[in-house]
Structure 1
Amino acid sequence: MKTLFIISCRTWKTAFQNRATLILTIILGLALGVATLIGWQNFNIQQAQRLKYKEIVRQKWLSKPDKHPHRMAHYGYLAFRDKHELSFFDFGIESFAGVSIFLEAHKQNTVNFSEAGFSNGMLRFGEMSVAMVLQLLVPLLIFFLGYNSISAEREAGTLKILLCQGVSWRELLSGKVLGIIGVSFSLFIPVILLTIVLWAALSNWQVSADAAIRLCLLISAYAVYFIICSGIAVLVSAFHQSSKAALTTLLVLWVVFTIVMPRITQAIGVKVYPSPSKIEFTAAIASDLQKQGDSHNPDDPHYAQFKADVLKKYKVDEVQKLPFNYGGYVMAEGERISAGIYNQHQGELNKIYEAQNSFAVAAGYFNPFLAIKNLSMALTASDFNTYMDFQQQAEAYRYQLAQHMNQLQIEKISNKKHGEKEKAASISHTHWAEQPDFQYVFKPVSWVIAGQMSTMLSLLCWFAVVVAALAISSRWIKTL
């Protein structure tokens, strides 16, 4: 342990004695600071906007005058997707996913108004977030620190001296890795401390256990990621005769890991599991709806039979004699059928997207960058699964709203013909308050862990492989 400590301390000290390394570290530290500030401002501005318009939507709903409940069902509601307090750390797909969805009877709309839709083309190059700096730039710094960790000793002739003094290959490699990890943690630890403070502030200093577990897992995942990168850097340096060759190899690995493979896996997923266009998707739903009939058309064969069955059940010969409003009853049936069709098609589409994303998950076993990227987005609730969950909760709210309005029509609107004593074809506006406001509830961290088991396992596999390679590689390095 004493030898490991000496080697690691010497590596750490040498790194900061190098002016180029020191300047690069300072620049990277400033980049992390700027990214943290951008994430903080991004969260505050966007969340404030969503809460503002969410309040406006609620007030507009409550201020509607007395009217027919089915008209209120078609008036609809606007649901907004909340931002998780940890999303300032990793933007994920936040800027490309819509932020609001219009909910109305008999129809499922798409989520609209993404940040990308209102920005210029620069967004395609990525946003500067803390996660982006930690995933892309810190490994680059680690590779710059580690490319000559062993090869430089070999070139200078000091490697033989170290080995002759009783230092084993395992001690040398492990000490170098620990020293490089120490340098990377010199940047990582201040960022984590700042992240904890900002996260607590964004949570109004009311920290939940679920969010705390998310943050602990996030910190642990990035720590493992940096250890993996440090181990790769030292191993590549150990297996190369010259520092120049080691640096070239590491830069090629960095480009392949962070640029080439992510795009290739995405392209393969889309090619193998092509998704329908929006027009094709809408047309398929319309076709299935047409087969089931139109609840607004009294002459529709399906609903004509439905009407006959209802009249037979209640032993009456016309809908005016039913003990409830038939119009609301048939609208509820139509809503049930149409919602089932929409949910079936949406579920099939989500399965296609999951299949496409499965290539990126599987590629995590060959690329630690993809593993940490997927896990980071999931823990900060800025991933595709969280986005799908928002759609599902919004659809459940839309269905409940439509059926609640249908139930009000069934109970409050009379069936009597014009000219007879009847209730007005509208109900009191006080009933609108019975419909609760939409509130998205983030899934617990246990749900995230269950969905990211493969990603977490791939990161742990990389860690195990690197540790094992450091332990047994001395057998082959001796021959170089």
Structure 2
Amino acid sequence: MKLLHTELLIARHFKNSVFKNQAIYIITFFIGALLLFAAFSGWDNYKSQNETSEKYQHESREDWLKNPDKNPHRMAHYGNFAFRKSTSLSVFEFGMEPFFGNAIFLEAHKQNTANFSEAGFSNSMLRFGEISIAMVLQVLLPLLIFFVGFNSVAYERENGTLKILLSQGISWKQLLFGKVLGIASVVMLLFIPTIIVLVLIWLTLQNFSISADETIKMLLFIGFHFIYLMFFCVAAVLISASSKTSKKALVSLIGIWLIFTIILPRTTQAIGAYLYEAPSKIQFNSDIEKDILKQGDSHNPNDVHYKAIKDSLLRAYKVDSVQKLPFNYSGFIMTEGEKISSNIYNKHLEELLKIYARQNSFSKAVSFFNPYIAMKNLSMGLSNTDYDSYIDFQKQAEKYRYGMAQKMNALQVKYISNKKPGPNDKPLTIGREHWADLEEFHYEPKGVWEVLKTEIVSVISILLWVILLFVLIRIAAKNLKAI
């Protein structure tokens, strides 16, 4: 208790000395204003995007159901839309969401990519860079910590009070931990109100009805950001204690901040893309088309591949024409064609995703050298605004698209006659009531355990960094000198 009392006294004294500097009030007010602005813009963005998604998802569903009696294959080509709603934590961490599309047009025989991203309609704010609560916590608060803590020990050494403190029986360990607590107490004046506002917004957005999964995500979001900020508090004290002057400590800390938050993130992305080069979108689509053409064209009655299927069906049912088959031949061929084209697309997509996974694995590996990258990846994962969440949306939409196309093909096989209508006959159709057989698309975000499994490297990296720094404090406590 006596040891803890000493550390708290050091922390309180340091906190009081920090607020004697008028500049700290200006900086704190500025960051506080940014946090409020980030909360407001995140709230507005979330409400706007989800209201738009719900509106057009509902309109798309209504348009689908309002279609008149029609050939099912025409309905498959008429298509549908899949919209992705934002999760509540995306209010605080925008991640990659502004740059990825949130809507996909779904149609037979073709896999489309997501469109209608905010970057596609980019305004000046997006080009400048959107300000989110996560960005302030991960980038600006560490800078504030360094500004507050650069002279925490170095100043004591410069004015000679360090020798006096140590001569009075205070150990290096007590001094270092006391300074860390002092810096943390200053930062908590911003962090705690931010968390309170964050939780209130989060609860309001969900009408105070929260799931266990979302609750765990929120607690992890808060907990890991707290750990992340404590890492910078410890780093500030260690650099200050090992520097002979406050000026050297400040230069060193600013250099660390620039490397962690600006230089390394952009460098690792560029190196990853260079080492594992991905094909262009044109090349990707061209390769798919080539492979599909090798398998045949399901819309061409004279195609070799599908002619072989026709001949085998005629032999199996012992008839001499497709008109005599007990099911709709065209629907059967479209079912086969959809299966082949989807398998080819998924095969190429998996290969592309492997390349992107290698690029991302390089960035994740660098997180062992940079806690900012680890925190950013984990934050985006928990808010479902990361690359993996975007791919998950694409896969859910593709699964729905394939089910839609095959359901329409199955209706054609079952209800449409093989007899071709004459020039004066009505086209072959089925009743519009069948359109309701297809359920509406609903995007399901990844669960917390799936996120943690994906971001396990980031979790381990953050924890290892904090453990390392506290080990360094113990080592420093034994080796640091007062002069």
The verdict on a shared fold, with TM-score over 0.5 as the criterion, is: yes
How far the C-alpha of 1:358 sits from its partner, in A, is 1.3
Per mean C-alpha deviation after superposition, the further-off stretch among 345-354 and 271-280 is 345-354
SS in 2 for 1:78: strand
For 1:218-297, list aligned pairs within 5 A: 218-297=221-300
Q: CA deviation at 1:474?
A: 2.2
2:84–2:103 CA contact under 8 A, matched in 1 = yes
The residue aligned with 1:14 is 17
Are residue 319 (structure 1) and residue 345 (structure 2) matched? Answer: no
Contact 2:162 2:482 (C-alpha < 8 Å) held by counterparts: no
Q: Does 1:455 align with 2:458?
A: yes
Q: 1:123 aligns with which of 103, 123, 126?
A: 126
Q: 172, 188, 192: which is aligned to 2:195?
A: 192
Partner of 1:101: helix, strand, or coil?
strand
Q: Secondary structure at the match of 2:464?
A: helix
Distance 2:56 2:15 in 1: 51
Distance (whole Å) between structure 1 residues aligned to residue 421 and residue 24 of structure 2: 87
1: CA distance, partners of 2:37 / 2:125 = 18
The 8 Å contact of residues 50 and 85 in structure 2, kept in 1 or not, is answered as yes
Q: How many angstroms apart in 2 are the aligned matches of 1:14 and 1:479? A: 21
Tell me whether 199-208 or 229-238 shows the greater mean CA deviation: 199-208
Write the mapping of 1:155-166 to structure 2, written as runs, cut at 5 A: 155-166=158-169
Q: Find the aligned partners of 1:418 and 1:96 in 2 and give their Cα distance.
A: 49
**AA of the residue aligned to 1:14:** S
Percent identity between matched residues is 51
From 92, 103, 112, give the equivalent of 2:106: 103
In structure 1, the residue matched to 2:6 is 3
- Moved runs in structure 1, 4+ residues, more than 6 A? none
Q: How far off its partner does 1:479 sit? A: 7.5
Q: Deviations over 1:432-477 (max 9, x none)?
A: 1111111001121110011111110000011111111111112331
Cα 1:401/1:148, change in 2 over 3 Å: same
Letter in 2 for 1:8: A
- The one-character-per-residue Cα deviations of 1:263-295 (angstroms, maximum 9, x if unpaired) are 110000000011111110011001100110000
Q: Counterpart of 1:370?
A: 373
Query: How far has the Cα of 1:35 moved from its partner?
Result: 0.7
**In the alignment, which of 51, 65, 75 is matched to residue 62 of structure 1?**
65
Aligned length, in residue pairs: 479
Which residue number corresponds to residue 76 of structure 1?
79
Code of the residue aligned with 2:430 in structure 1: it is I
In the alignment, what sits opposite 1:353? 356
Question: Residue by residue, what CA displacement relative to the aligned partner does 1:334-354 show, whole Å, maximum 9, x if unpaired?
Answer: 000000001111111111111
Mean Cα displacement is larger for which, 11-20 or 368-377?
A: 11-20
**1:417 Cα deviation (Å)?**
4.6
Q: 1:309 aligns with which of 308, 312, 331?
A: 312
Q: 2:217, 2:448 within 8 Å by CA — same for their partners in 1?
A: yes
Q: Is the 8 A contact 2:39 2:132 kept in 1?
A: yes
How far did 1:122 drift?
Answer: 4.9
User: What is the match of residue 332 of structure 1?
Assistant: 335
- Maintained 8 Å contact 1:311/1:318: yes
Decide whether the 8 Å contact of 1:15 with 1:22 is kept in 2. no
Deviation at 1:205, TM superposition (A): 1.7
- Counterpart check, 1:386 vs 2:389: yes
Q: Which secondary structure does the structure 2 equivalent of 1:102 belong to? A: strand
Residue number among 211, 214, 238 corresponding to 1:211 in the alignment: 214
Compared with structure 1, are the counterparts of its residues 333 and 364 closer, same or farther at alpha carbon in structure 2 (3 Å cutoff)? same
Q: Distance in 2 between matches of 1:238 and 1:151?
A: 6
SS in 2 for 1:55: helix
Matched with 2:344 is 341
Q: 1:132: which partner in 2?
A: 135
1:52-90, Cα deviation, whole Å (9 max, x unpaired): 111111111111111100000000001111101110000
| Candidates 53, 56, 77, aligned match of 2:56 | 53
- 1:82 & 1:300 partners in 2: Cα distance? 42
For the pair 1:31 / 2:34, whether they are aligned, the reply is: yes
Contact 2:319/2:325 (8 A) holds in 1:
yes
- What is the Cα deviation at residue 4 of structure 1? 0.9
1:294-324 Cα offsets, whole Å, 9 max, x none, are: 0000111100111112222223222111111
Q: Return the match for 2:417 from 414, 418, 428.
A: 414
- Is the contact made by 1:413 and 1:423 (CA closer than 8 Å) also made in structure 2? no
Conservation of the 8 A alpha-carbon contact between 2:104 and 2:113 = yes
Amino acid at match of 1:444: G
Match of 2:96 in 1: 93
Distance in 2 between residues matched to 1:68 and 1:108, nearest whole Å? 21
Alignment equivalent of 1:154, drawn from 136, 139, 157: 157
Normalising by structure 1, report the TM-score. 0.98
Matched residues in 1 for 2:317 and 2:7: separation?
86
Q: Distance in 1 between matches of 2:311 and 2:426?
A: 25
1:172 pairs with 2:172: no
Distance, in Å, in 1 between the alignment partners of 2:147 and 2:315 is 81
Give the superposed CA RMSD.
1.4
Letter in 1 for 2:134: A
2:374 is paired with a residue whose SS is helix
Structure 2 residue ranges without an equivalent (≥5): none
Equivalent position amino acid for 2:358 in 1: A
CA–CA distance in 2 between the matches of 1:34 and 1:157? 43
AA of the residue aligned to 2:245:
S
TM normalised by structure 2 equals 0.97
Residue 92 of structure 1 contacts residue 377 of structure 1 at CA under 8 Å; is this kept in 2? yes
